[in-house]
Chains A and B, each alone.
Chain A
Amino acid sequence: MEQYRLHVNGAEHDVVDAWLGESLLYVLRERLGLVAAKGACEEGECGSCSVLVDGHLVCSCLVLAASALDQPITTVEGLAERGAPTDVQQAFVDAGAVQCGFCTPGLVMAAHTLLDHNAEPSETEIREQLSGNICRCTGYGRIIEAVQRVSVARREATP
Chain B
Amino acid sequence: MTLTGTATGRTVRGAIGQSPTRPDGVAKVQGTFAFSSDVPIDGARWGMTLRSPHPYARILALDVSGAWSIDGVAAVITGDDVPGKTTYGLITADQPVFASDVVRYVGEPVAAVAADHPETCRRALDAIVVTYEVLEPLLDADAALDPATPPIHPDGNVLRSQAVRRGDLSVTGAVVVEGTYEIGMQDQAFLGLEAAVAVPDPGGRSIELYVATQWLHEDRKQIAACLDLPEESVRLVLGGVGGAFGAREDISLQVHTCLLALRIGAPVRMAYSRAESFLGHVHRHPARIWMRHHATAGGELVKVEARFVLDGGAYASTSSAVLLNAITHTQGPYRCPNAAVEGFAVRSNHLPCGAMRGFGVVQACFAHEGQMDKLAAACGLDPIEMRLRNALVTGDTLITGQVMESVAPVARCITETAALPMPLAAAATDAVMGRPGGAGLTADATHVRRGVGYGVAMKNLMYSEGFDDYSTARCVLADGVVTLKFATSEVGQGFVTIAQQIARTVLGVETVVLEPIDTQIGSSGSTSASRQTWMSGGAVDAACRAVRERLFEHVGETAGLDPLRLVVDGDEVADSMGEFRIAVADASSGRRFDETVEYHHRPTEELDEDGQGNCHTAFAFVAHRAVVDVDAELGLVKVVQVATAQDVGRALNPLAVLGQIEGGISQGVGLAVMEEIVQVDGVIRNANFTDYLLPTFLDMPTVVATLIEEPDPQAPLGAKGVGEPPCISVTPAVVAAIRDALAQFDGPDARPRAIDRIPVRPADIALA
- A contacts, CB < 8 Å to B: 19, 21, 29, 33, 35-43, 45-46, 48, 75-77, 80, 82-83, 85, 89-90, 92-96, 98-105, 108, 122, 124, 126-128, 130-144
**Residue B346, interface by CB 8 Å:** no
Compute how far the CA of A132 lies from the CA of B429 in the bound complex, rounded to whole angstroms. Answer: 22
Check A142/B659 contact, CB under 8 A, given A45-B689, A100-B190.
Answer: yes
Residues from chain B with Cβ under 8 Å of A108 in the complex: 29, 31
If A19-B117, A89-B26, A139-B665 touch, whether A36 touches B658 (CB-CB below 8 Å) is no
Q: Say whether, besides A96-B655, A100-B242, A138 and B662 are in contact (CB < 8 Å).
A: yes
Residues of A within 8 A of B688 (CB): 41, 43, 45
Q: How far is the CB of A127 from chain B (nearest CB, A)?
A: 4
Q: A43-B274, A102-B242, A102-B243 are in contact. Are A140 and B35 (CB under 8 A)?
A: no
A48 vs B659: C-alpha distance in the bound complex, in angstroms?
A: 19
6 additional A-B pairs beyond A38-B242, A98-B25, A127-B698, beta carbons within 8 Å, are A38-B191, A39-B193, A41-B688, A100-B243, A139-B661, A141-B703
How many angstroms from the CA of A35 to the CA of B28 in the assembled complex?
Answer: 11
- Taking the closest CB of chain A, its distance from the CB of B735, in whole angstroms, is 19
B31-47 at interface with A (beta carbon < 8 Å): 31-35, 37-38, 40
Interface size on B, as a range, is 35 or more
In this complex, the member of B34, B242, B433, B698 whose beta carbon has the largest number of chain A beta carbons within 10 angstroms is: B242
Residues of B within 8 A of A82 (CB): 30, 32
> Given the known A-B contacts A136-B694, A141-B658, are A38 and B37 also in contact in the complex, defined by CB atoms under 8 Å?
yes
Residues of B within 8 A of A128 (CB): 433, 439, 697-698
Closest to B245 in A: A136
* 8 A-B contacts (beta carbon < 8 Å): A98-B22, A105-B29, A122-B429, A124-B433, A138-B659, A139-B659, A141-B658, A141-B700
Instruction: Report the Cα distance A133→B252, complex, angstroms.
Output: 26
- CB pair B666–A140 under 8 Å, yes or no, is yes
Asked whether, in the complex, the Cβ of A99 is within 8 Å of the Cβ of B31, the reply is no
Distance in angstroms from A59 CB to nearest chain B CB is 12
Report if B690 contacts A (CB, 8 A): yes
Which of B31, B117, B702 has most A Cβ within 10 Å?
B31
Minimum CB distance partner of B703 in chain A? A141
Q: Does B613 make an interface contact (CB < 8 A)?
A: no
Q: Are B191 and A100 in contact (CB under 8 A)?
A: yes
Q: How far is the CA of A133 from the CA of B699 in the complex (A)?
A: 12
Contact (Cβ within 8 A) A139 B666: yes
Q: How far is the CB of A77 from chain B (nearest CB, A)?
A: 6
The answer to whether B240 and A101 touch across the interface, beta carbons within 8 angstroms, is: yes
A87 vs B749: C-alpha distance in the bound complex, in angstroms? 57
Alpha-carbon distance between A9 and B655 when the two chains are bound, in angstroms: 34
- Which label, helix, strand, loop or mixed, suits the secondary structure of the A interface? loop
A21 to B122 alpha-carbon distance, docked (Å): 13
Q: Which residue of A lies closest to B700 (CB)?
A: A140
Say which one of B490-498, B500-508, B738-746 lies at the interface with A: B490-498
Could you tell me if B492 and A101 are in contact, using CB atoms closer than 8 angstroms?
yes
Residues of chain B contacted by A33 (CB below 8 angstroms): 40
Residues of A within 8 A of B190 (CB): 100, 102, 136
Question: By the criterion CB–CB under 8 Å, are B689 and A35 in contact?
Answer: no
Task: Answer whether residue B189 sits at the interface, using C-beta atoms and an 8 A cutoff.
Answer: yes
Q: How far is the CA of A131 from the CA of B666 in the complex (A)?
A: 14
Indicate if B146 sits at the interface (CB-CB under 8 A): no
* Most chain B C-beta atoms within 10 Å of own C-beta, residue among A103, A128, A134, A141: A141
In the assembled complex, which residues on chain A have CB atoms less than 8 Å from the CB atom of B21? 93-94, 96
Residues of B within 8 A of A45 (CB): 688-690
Is B30 touching A85 in the complex (CB atoms < 8 A)? yes
Chain B nearest Cβ from A84, distance in angstroms: 9
Contact of A93 among B29, B662, B666, B696 (CB under 8 A): B29
A40 to B117, CA, bound (A): 19
**B711 interfacial contact with A, CB 8 Å:** no
Question: Shortest 9 CB-CB distances between A and B: which pairs?
Answer: A36-B31, A100-B492, A139-B662, A101-B28, A102-B242, A45-B689, A93-B25, A99-B492, A139-B666
A35–B193 contact, CB under 8 A? no
> A46: which of B191, B656, B697 is its contact (CB, 8 Å)?
B191
Closest to B668 in A: A139
User: Is A104 touching B29 in the complex (CB atoms < 8 A)?
Assistant: yes
With both beta carbons as reference points, the residue of chain B lying nearest to A103 in the complex is identified as B191
Q: Which residues of A contact B494 (CB under 8 A)?
A: 99
Q: Which residues of chain B are within 8 angstroms of A98 by Cβ–Cβ distance?
A: 22, 25, 28-29
| B700 touching A139, Cβ below 8 Å | yes
Chain A residue at smallest Cβ distance from B497: A96
B663–A43 CB distance below 8 A: no
Contact B26 A93 (CB under 8 A): yes
Note all chain A residues with C-beta closer than 8 A to B193.
Answer: 39-40
User: Min CB distance, B622 to chain A, in Å?
Assistant: 15
Determine the chain A residues whose CB is within 8 A of the CB of B28 once the complex forms.
Answer: 93, 98, 101, 104
The reply to whether A105 and B689 contact each other, CB–CB distance below 8 Å, is: no
A124: B residues at CB distance < 8 A:
429-430, 433-434
Say how far A28's CB is from chain B's closest CB, in angstroms: 11
Assuming the contacts A76-B31, A99-B663, asked whether A134 and B698 have C-beta atoms less than 8 A apart, the reply is: no
Find B192's partner among A29, A93, A100, A134 (CB 8 Å cutoff). A100
Bits for B654-676, please: 1 = Cβ < 8 Å to A, else 0.
Answer: 01101101111111000000000
Which chain A residues lie closer than 8 Å to B29 at the CB level?
Answer: 85, 89-90, 92-93, 98, 101, 104-105, 108
How many angstroms from the CA of A144 to the CA of B26 in the assembled complex?
A: 18
